[in-house]
Structure 1
């Protein structure tokens, strides 16, 4: 029964608002709505989870009980009053890693970061970032392509973890067998000696046991870490499938984004495990002992030799090609350098048009282009948001910033020569020069740490690729691939069948190299002792890059200058 003189209160439920009028579609002030007045929302309180009109927004800042609440302005507030799907809920369960008392509720597209309200207020404001309230967008992830991709990445990483363990077991068996053979050689040699040598024999045997113990200890470590990775990935996979099956979009969205970083971390962890170098041994007798039994001489040593995984037998198939010519180009494209920022984002140097281009591999198109007054040669990633490009004619290295659809020039670094090849690893750059012919290791700020300049090693060192332990340089004048350590010491050399140009390192530690004149791409073992042709009949390949995630090679071709060719290789 209505009370005389008092207006009946209207109650609106966000879940039952009908769609059809402008009023229904408007985001309105929820406190005023309780009194029957529907006013446009001016902001949003993340503590109260309510939209506020301008008056309520102002009073919210002044009231003692709410003055410390986190408020979002009109540009940052959620743009809908209800979840995307009827089953969606605004209950957030994952705490922010930076602000433990806050739950993750937002997503920044520019930084690909999950955020809480404090993160949005302090670091990812609407003026600088594209931020969405997760319930506004999370409904899209149920049974989405991203959901399928993350599950596939989990399966791939699980398979890679298992394969890494199997490879390490094989190498460990080889190492232990080599030690057994070395000890057999020791006993053959020892049989010719008298009792005076017993003590020396035991010393070598103990050394072998220590190495075997270390081998087995390291193998157990790999087993444990790979097992932990597999268990973690299985648990995450089950959680993702559960969230998807139960249509918990918020949890699924957060877990998928969270898993992207975890997968990257696991990739780095697995990569580090593959760097474990197991050695083989053979016994080298001391010939002088036969005549010097009364001397305190060593019986021999266990000499290390690096054990490298064998080259795989690979099947190659031509998948596709991408046109990289744009409306800004005045000439045919000449691709001299490439690097991958992610499986879907390829950066190329187009010397023919004096430009650096960003290519979206999923859309098969050029996203952005930055032109230069001088011809660029090679490009490398300094970080996910920064590139370094060599400009030989200017004897400079140009740094570029990378955003979602833009390349922008930053600062330049002057170097002492015509720089061509470049590869960044952590806080260091390795740069090759043609005049004078040399290779330098520099800090990012330009400080020169090491230089190797020797006409017997380098004549035309065009391209470089790097890893944690080594540097590979292709020299078209010497027709060699030279392996260096980070002290610029030569650790191996592969004599090529023809002039080598662009090269890239695989996740297995092998190196793919282009033969421009020979129309092939060859895979070379990490120790530079053997090689095998993996891609044939690709006219004039000059530069190449490897994608471990998709097991594909991207390369240029002289006869199809405006295209990037893509080749799928078997694992």
Structure 2
């Protein structure tokens, strides 16, 4: 078919014989090549699967039949003639999971997504995303660092699965053995009483069988998860090795990307394996039962207790370095919040003056937003928006999260507040902020996200130095380092409880059941406070001067930063497998 506008190009190029040489251009206009001189490609049409010169691109956008086609520019277009002409050595036939009959041909760097031509046309246009044709960039996958890293992550995940399964089997065996011992004690005790206890004995045995059934169910679930993960990882490992050995870079590239996502997904599943609450049991007979046979009573108790020290899972401690090449000073992390189970947002109160986004699983800083003032604390106000306190300029800064990048929200950039704002928490459209200053009375304010103050608690009998806050739908907890208290408030600003600490409390975090964690920087521990502020105990020891703390309910993990003025300030500590629920007691 003749293309309008091409004759002029032929005239201008007819005097240059080199324009017709097949060696002149690596990628040339396929449309012109059919009937005229060979011209350099200026773009690529996704719909037609053809490279086009600059004039053909212009005409393509104007003609009725092609004006809605998707064109890639020179920087994004395939650097070989087309998918059909590519000289790739491997059989590149991976189908798009979303558009089953289309081949995966492109990679979006912004969304880390493998795409077919339909994906590019509908969702990942060249105007909005950084795209590459996979055969152009896949050659570097063979024996690459990414190849080595994925294999290492497969091995690490497999080892974690094996260890989790081994630990669960051991704990399960001890729990079942303890139940067997308890049942034996029941039988000994049963010989001292008459047949009137038959019913009670049956009840306690049935309860033990229920617990054993739960133990078996838990073990089966762990075996299933670990088996599925190990099987999938083995298949992925074999495929990766095969594509690498057979020099199939495109298939290797796709397999690596899919395996990376699979490892990330499996990481959350494996992390949850430690959530099962498996206990050992003993039977504690009621010595007074012989005197109570004529009354309705209970035979004894099955009391759940944590496994013995040798078999109990110790807290898994890990560290994440959060110092970046942009940082000119040691870090000082004074605030933390999780945006997703794998994305931790931290406030660096040092002269680095930055908010950072940390990938938990890859242990790396993905994005860093710097300020003209030091950020003290941070909270998430939506799935993609953060609020940051800047006490030195009495401002709350809103940060927008897009494609793993932190940017200042231009629609609601800043919120001026009345005082030096420190700790911050949120729930829906409300914020709770603590204020402290040498020149003004301390206070806590509850306000709307637009700045409207709803309640102010300014009473020196309640707060003298409020530093951190945490909140949920029903209540707020505030730590005060001078009063040595953690105070519970409702959203009307009314005091509903107060826990008196033995040490100066710092960061506070709340679990899904209302329990509060608090960092004690002098005694180097993290404590647990009941939701009604009546009881407290130490749950983590040897945590170096804990400053900010944050609890992840999804992975049962505690994140802490340190106040210690050493190199430790450049790390976030990650503690898991340490939180035990209250003991279970069954009466019969």
Taking structure 2 as the reference length, the TM-score comes to 0.66
Q: Distance in 1 between matches of 2:399 and 2:180?
A: 53
Where does structure 2 lack aligned partners over 5 or more consecutive residues?
A: 1-17, 437-441, 452-459, 489-497, 511-515, 531-535, 578-588
Q: In structure 2, what is the equivalent of residue 143 of structure 1?
A: 143
Q: In structure 2, what is the equivalent of residue 357 of structure 1?
A: 355
Q: Distance in 1 between matches of 2:470 and 2:150?
A: 29
Aligned residues of 1:322 and 1:564 also touching (Cα < 8 A):
no
Aligned residues of 2:320 and 2:364 also touching (Cα < 8 A):
no
Q: Does 1:274 align with 2:274?
A: yes
Alignment of 1:395-406 (within 5 A): 398-403=398-403, 406=406
Q: In structure 1, what is the equivalent of residue 73 of structure 2?
A: 74
Q: In structure 1, what is the equivalent of residue 506 of structure 2?
A: 501
Aligned residues of 1:474 and 1:503 also touching (Cα < 8 A):
yes
Aligned-pair CA distance for 1:395: 9.0
Q: In structure 2, what is the equivalent of residue 183 of structure 1?
A: 183
Q: Secondary structure at the match of 2:247?
A: coil
Q: In structure 1, what is the equivalent of residue 5 of structure 2?
A: none
Question: Per the alignment, do residues 76 and 120 of structure 1 end up closer, same or farther by CA in structure 2, a change over 3 Å counting?
Answer: farther
Q: Does 1:564 align with 2:564?
A: no
Q: Distance in 2 between matches of 1:443 and 1:215?
A: 47
Aligned residues of 1:357 and 1:366 also touching (Cα < 8 A):
no
Q: Distance in 2 between matches of 1:137 and 1:160?
A: 33
Aligned residues of 1:389 and 1:398 also touching (Cα < 8 A):
yes
Q: In structure 2, what is the equivalent of residue 420 of structure 1?
A: 423
Q: Secondary structure at the match of 1:232?
A: helix
Aligned-pair CA distance for 1:391: 5.8
Aligned residues of 1:279 and 1:304 also touching (Cα < 8 A):
yes
Q: In structure 2, what is the equivalent of residue 163 of structure 1?
A: 163
Question: Per the alignment, do residues 237 and 59 of structure 1 end up closer, same or farther by CA in structure 2, a change over 3 Å counting?
Answer: same
Aligned-pair CA distance for 1:208: 0.8
Aligned-pair CA distance for 1:199: 2.3
Question: Per the alignment, do residues 428 and 176 of structure 1 end up closer, same or farther by CA in structure 2, a change over 3 Å counting?
Answer: farther
Q: In structure 1, what is the equivalent of residue 199 of structure 2?
A: 199
Q: In structure 1, what is the equivalent of residue 3 of structure 2?
A: none
Aligned length, in residue pairs = 512
Aligned-pair CA distance for 1:303: 4.1
Question: Per the alignment, do residues 121 and 135 of structure 1 end up closer, same or farther by CA in structure 2, a change over 3 Å counting?
Answer: same
Q: Distance in 2 between matches of 1:69 and 1:28?
A: 22
Q: Does 1:250 align with 2:259?
A: no
Q: In structure 1, what is the equivalent of residue 547 of structure 2?
A: 542
Q: Distance in 2 between matches of 1:133 and 1:246?
A: 21
Aligned residues of 1:337 and 1:379 also touching (Cα < 8 A):
yes
Q: Distance in 2 between matches of 1:89 and 1:159?
A: 35
Aligned residues of 1:387 and 1:402 also touching (Cα < 8 A):
no
Aligned-pair CA distance for 1:370: 3.9
Q: Distance in 2 between matches of 1:515 and 1:312?
A: 21
Aligned residues of 1:108 and 1:115 also touching (Cα < 8 A):
yes
Question: Per the alignment, do residues 559 and 341 of structure 1 end up closer, same or farther by CA in structure 2, a change over 3 Å counting?
Answer: same
Q: In structure 1, what is the equivalent of residue 230 of structure 2?
A: 230
Aligned-pair CA distance for 1:292: 3.9
Question: Per the alignment, do residues 219 and 345 of structure 1 end up closer, same or farther by CA in structure 2, a change over 3 Å counting?
Answer: closer
Q: In structure 1, what is the equivalent of residue 108 of structure 2?
A: 108
Q: In structure 2, what is the equivalent of residue 9 of structure 1?
A: none
Question: Per the alignment, do residues 77 and 88 of structure 1 end up closer, same or farther by CA in structure 2, a change over 3 Å counting?
Answer: same
1:22-61 Cα deviation digits (max 9, x unpaired): x425x32123324452123354244553213467668879
Question: Per the alignment, do residues 161 and 41 of structure 1 end up closer, same or farther by CA in structure 2, a change over 3 Å counting?
Answer: same
Question: Per the alignment, do residues 150 and 480 of structure 1 end up closer, same or farther by CA in structure 2, a change over 3 Å counting?
Answer: farther
Aligned residues of 1:556 and 1:563 also touching (Cα < 8 A):
yes
1:34-91 Cα deviation digits (max 9, x unpaired): 4452123354244553213467668879999x8699642435752412699x973585
Q: In structure 2, what is the equivalent of residue 24 of structure 1?
A: 25
Question: Per the alignment, do residues 58 and 102 of structure 1 end up closer, same or farther by CA in structure 2, a change over 3 Å counting?
Answer: farther
Question: Per the alignment, do residues 87 and 278 of structure 1 end up closer, same or farther by CA in structure 2, a change over 3 Å counting?
Answer: farther
Aligned residues of 1:324 and 1:564 also touching (Cα < 8 A):
no
Aligned residues of 2:109 and 2:129 also touching (Cα < 8 A):
yes
Q: In structure 2, what is the equivalent of residue 52 of structure 1?
A: 52
Q: In structure 2, what is the equivalent of residue 337 of structure 1?
A: 335
Q: In structure 2, what is the equivalent of residue 6 of structure 1?
A: none
Q: Distance in 2 between matches of 1:158 and 1:359?
A: 28
Q: Distance in 1 between matches of 2:355 and 2:313?
A: 33
Q: Distance in 1 between matches of 2:243 and 2:89?
A: 13
Aligned-pair CA distance for 1:122: 1.8
Aligned residues of 1:320 and 1:567 also touching (Cα < 8 A):
no
Aligned residues of 1:370 and 1:408 also touching (Cα < 8 A):
no
Q: Secondary structure at the match of 2:114?
A: strand
1:411-435 Cα deviation digits (max 9, x unpaired): 58999996726599xx999978579
Backbone CA RMSD of aligned residues = 5.8
Q: In structure 2, what is the equivalent of residue 376 of structure 1?
A: 375
1:507-549 Cα deviation digits (max 9, x unpaired): xxxx99865446x5779999955544265xxxx6634789999
1:319-354 Cα deviation digits (max 9, x unpaired): 99657646xx9xx97541246889998754234569
Alignment of 1:515-554 (within 5 A): 516-517=521-522, 531-533=540-542, 542-543=547-548
Aligned-pair CA distance for 1:558: 5.5
Question: Per the alignment, do residues 293 and 430 of structure 1 end up closer, same or farther by CA in structure 2, a change over 3 Å counting?
Answer: farther
Aligned residues of 1:494 and 1:529 also touching (Cα < 8 A):
no
Q: Secondary structure at the match of 2:542?
A: strand
Question: Per the alignment, do residues 464 and 236 of structure 1 end up closer, same or farther by CA in structure 2, a change over 3 Å counting?
Answer: farther
Q: Distance in 1 between matches of 2:175 and 2:232?
A: 30
Q: Secondary structure at the match of 2:570?
A: strand
